[in-house]
Amino acid sequence: MELAILGGTGDIGEGLAMRFASDTEHTITVGSRDAAKASERARAYEEQLSAHGIESAINGADNSSAAAGADVVILAIPPHHVGDTVEALTADDVLSDQLLISPAVGMSGDEDGLHYRPPSTGSVTEFVAERAPDSVPVAGAFHNLAADRLADLEATLDVDTLVVADDPAVSERVVTLTADLAGVRPIPAGPLSNAAEVESLTPLLINIARYNEGMHDVGVTFN
Average pLDDT score, the chain: 95
pLDDT per residue as tens digits for the range 1-49: 999 999 999 999 999 999 999 999 999 999 999 999 999 999 999 999 9
pLDDT per residue as tens digits for the range 87-104: 999 999 999 889 999 999
Q: Distance between CA atoms of 162 and 185, rounded to whole angstroms?
A: 9
- Residue 108, pLDDT score: 95
- Residue 214, pLDDT score: 84
Tell me the domain boundaries of the chain.
2-211
Task: Give SS3 for 155.
Answer: coil
Sequence-separated (6 or more) residues with CB below 8 Å from residue 41: 8, 9, 14, 30, 32, 60
Q: What is the mean pLDDT of residues 122-149?
A: 96
pLDDT per residue as tens digits for the range 159-215: 999 999 999 999 999 999 999 999 999 999 999 999 999 999 999 999 999 999 888
Q: What is the DSSP letter of 78?
A: -
31, 63 in Cβ contact below 8 A? yes
Sequence-separated (6 or more) residues with CB below 8 Å from residue 143: 103, 104, 105, 161, 162, 198, 199, 201, 202
56, 32 in Cβ contact below 8 A? no
Q: Is the pLDDT of residue 123 over 90?
A: yes
Q: Is the pLDDT of residue 217 over 90?
A: no
Q: Distance between CA atoms of 189 and 193, rounded to whole angstroms?
A: 10
Sequence-separated (6 or more) residues with CB below 8 Å from residue 74: 3, 4, 5, 6, 13, 16, 101, 103, 142
Sequence-separated (6 or more) residues with CB below 8 Å from residue 163: 139, 140, 141, 171, 174, 175, 178, 186, 187, 188, 189
Q: Distance between CA atoms of 194 and 165, rounded to whole angstroms?
A: 9
CATH 3.40.50.720 fits 2-211, yes or no: yes
Q: Is the pLDDT of residue 222 over 90?
A: yes
Residue 84's pLDDT band (boundaries 50, 70, 90)?
A: very high
Q: What is the mean pLDDT of residues 139-153?
A: 95
Residue 216's pLDDT band (boundaries 50, 70, 90)?
A: confident
- Residue 215, pLDDT score: 87
